[in-house]
Structure 1
Amino acid sequence: MRFFLQVARTGRLTEAARALGVDHATVSRRVGALERALSARLFDRSPRGYALTEAGRALLPTAEAMESASMLAAAEVGGRQDELSGAVRIGMPEGAASHLAPAAVADLVESYPRLEIQIVALPRTFSLSQREADFAIVVTPPAAGRLRIRKIADYRLQLYGSAELLGDRPPRTPEELRRWRLVGYVPDLIFDKGLDYLTEIPGAPTPAVASTSLLVQLEMVAAGAGLGMLPEFMARRRPGLVPVMPEVTRITRAYWLVMHQDTAELARIRRVARAFADAMRARL
C-alpha cells in the first residue's frame, strides 16, 4: 500500500522510488504484486507516467486511511508526548513564513531537539490528503475535504511606496493613483483569490512590475520601482516605506490553519500547529 500511495501521488516510478529510498524496479514489482493480489489494474501506464484507474481511485481513500492509522499507531507506541521527534512539513505563504513564523520555530527546536521543521513557502496550494504538507496556513480556506479548519487571526494590508519615490506629491485620489506604477502579483499566476488585492483598490492599474513572490514585491517597493500592496506586519519593519491613501487602500485578510482529520491528532503535528498559530496570533 505504501508503494501504491507513492506512485498515485507522484505519477512516476522514479519519483516514487526516490521518496521511498528504493530503486524503481522494486516499486514496479510491489505495485504489480498488489494488483495481482487484488485482481485489479490500479494504474494506466503510458510514457507520460502512471494514472489511477477507476479501481485505483476507489482504493485510494482506504490506502490513505491505512497510512494515517499506521502513523497514529507509531506515534502512540513509539514515545511519550513530551519527546516529540520526526519531521513536520508546513505549507504557508512566504510573508507569514519569513515574518511571523521564525519565533515559533526557534522555540520548538529548542524545546524538542529531535523535531525537524520543514517550511514550504511556495506560491501554490497544498494537498494534505496527498501528504504534500502535514498542515497548511492559508489565506483562503478550502471549501471541501476531510479537514479541520481554524482561524488564526486577521491581518491588514495597504498600499505603500518608498519615501524617495513619493516625494512631496503622493497620490491622494483614485484618479491620481492611475498615473502611478504599481508592483503586484503576476495576474494569471495568482494561486489564491484572496491575494488578488489590487482589484479591490479604486483606480489601481494592472501591475507594471509583477512577481509571484511577496518578498520580491517588498524589495521592489522599497527600491522605488512602484507602489505596492503589502501586509502591515512586513512594511512596518521598513522605515523607508510610507502608507499611501490608507483610508482607501487598507483591506483585511485572515490566516487560517488547515489540518487533515486523519493526522490532526498526531502529537508532533498538533504541537507544531498550535505553536505556529499562537506565534502568528501574538505578532498580529
Structure 2
Amino acid sequence: MRDWENLRYFLAVARQGTVLGAANQLGVSHSTVLRRIEQFEKALGSKLFKKLQRGYELTLAGEELYQNAQAIEGNIDHVLALAEGRDDVTEGKLRISQPEIGIINVYPLYAEFRRQHPEITLEVHSTMQADNINQQEVDIVIRISESPPELLAGRCLGKVKGKAYANRKYLDTLPADATPADYDWIVWQMTATANLKYLQSLNIANPKVVMYAGSMPDVVSAIHHGMGAGFLSTQQAQLHKNLVALFDGQTLAEYSIWILTHRDLRNSERVRTFMRFMAENLILD
C-alpha cells in the first residue's frame, strides 16, 4: 500500500521548490523530507525531481503527478478528517495549539484533565502563530480571536483583561515623586504599537522602553525580576504576588479566548471531552 503521507511531502517540495522550505511547512527535519521523497520515488519507480543549484524542479513524471495529486488532495483530506471525526474512543493523542505561556494559565487544568483522563496524551504547541487546523496539524486551538474562522466549531471561554504592572520592589527603588513617565518599560514586540499608544494616551509622550521582548514569557520574567513596568493579562499577574497594578488598575484591553476544532472533528470523543472540560473549568477573571 502506498503511503499518502509521502504524497504530502512530494506536494510540499513541489510547491516550495526546496527541501528546506518543505521541511518548514511540514514542521519536520530536512532529512525527513529527503527520506520521504526517496521512498516515494522508489515505490513509484520514477524520478520526480531534478536537483538544481537553485532548488528542486519537477521532472515530466513529477509534473504529471503534481497535476493529478492537486485534484485529489482536498478529497483525501476531507475523507481522513471525516474518519477521525467519527472516532468514538477517548484514549489516544490530542494535539492542542495554545497561546504562549504568560497570557493564560492553563496547566493546572491540564494536570487535572490528565488525572481524570489518564488514557489521553496531550501534545501541546505554545505559539502565537496559527497552527493550521484545516490541514490537521492540530486537533484543537485555544486562540485569542474576535471572529473565529467559519470552518471551525467551538465556543468563547471568556475574556482576558490586560493591565500595566510593576514589581513592588522595583517601585520602591524609584524616587518618591516618580511618575509612570519616569518608569522603565518592558514591551512585547507583538503588541508594541498598541502598548506605546496606550502610554501616550496617558500623557507619557516618550516612554523609556528598556526591553522589547520577543515572547510573552520574557515579558513576565522581566517584570517579575524588577527590570521595569509592562503589560500582562490579569490572570497571569495573579500568579505573582509581588506585582502591583498601575494606573489605578485600569484595563488596557480585553481579548476573547476561544476553544475551537474543525467541524469534521467535533464528534470525536477525545475532542469533545477536552473542550467540555475546559469550558466548564477555565476561569479567566
> What does residue 160 of structure 1 align with?
165
Tell me the CA shift for residue 251 of structure 1: 2.4
Question: What CA distance in whole angstroms lies between the structure 2 residues aligned with 1:237 and 1:49?
Answer: 50
* Alignment: residue pair count: 258
Letter in 2 for 1:226: G
Give CA-to-partner distance per residue, 1:139-173, whole Å, 9 cap, x none.
1256545212421101211100111222276899x
Question: What CA distance in whole angstroms lies between the structure 2 residues aligned with 1:194 and 1:70?
Answer: 43
Distance 1:3 1:95, change over 3 A: same
Distance 1:211 1:278, change over 3 A: farther
Where structure 2 has 5 or more consecutive residues not aligned to the other structure, the ranges are 13-20
> What does residue 7 of structure 2 align with?
4
What SS does the aligned partner of 2:219 have? Answer: helix
> What does residue 250 of structure 1 align with?
252
8 A Cα contact 2:185 2:228, kept in partner? yes
Q: Which of 39, 48, 73 is matched with 1:26 structurally?
A: 39
Question: What CA distance in whole angstroms lies between the structure 2 residues aligned with 1:233 and 1:195?
Answer: 22
Letter in 1 for 2:271: I
Question: What CA distance in whole angstroms lies between the structure 2 residues aligned with 1:258 and 1:54?
Answer: 33
Question: What CA distance in whole angstroms lies between the structure 2 residues aligned with 1:143 and 1:50?
Answer: 37
Distance 1:256 1:114, change over 3 A: same
Q: Which of 79, 92, 103 is matched with 2:98 structurally?
A: 92
Tell me the CA shift for residue 70 of structure 1: 2.7
Tell me the CA shift for residue 215 of structure 1: 1.9
> What does residue 211 of structure 2 align with?
209
> What does residue 114 of structure 2 align with?
109
Question: What CA distance in whole angstroms lies between the structure 2 residues aligned with 1:50 and 1:118?
Answer: 35
Whichever of the two has the greater Rg, that structure is: 2
8 A Cα contact 1:185 1:213, kept in partner? yes
> What does residue 38 of structure 1 align with?
none
TM-score by length of 1: 0.73
> What does residue 182 of structure 1 align with?
185
Alignment RMSD: 3.8
Question: What CA distance in whole angstroms lies between the structure 1 residues aligned with 2:273 and 2:226?
Answer: 41
8 A Cα contact 1:95 1:215, kept in partner? yes
Where structure 1 has 5 or more consecutive residues not aligned to the other structure, the ranges are 36-40
TM-score by length of 2: 0.73
Question: What CA distance in whole angstroms lies between the structure 2 residues aligned with 1:96 and 1:276?
Answer: 18
Give CA-to-partner distance per residue, 1:36-60, whole Å, 9 cap, x none.
xxxxx9x998764689966554433
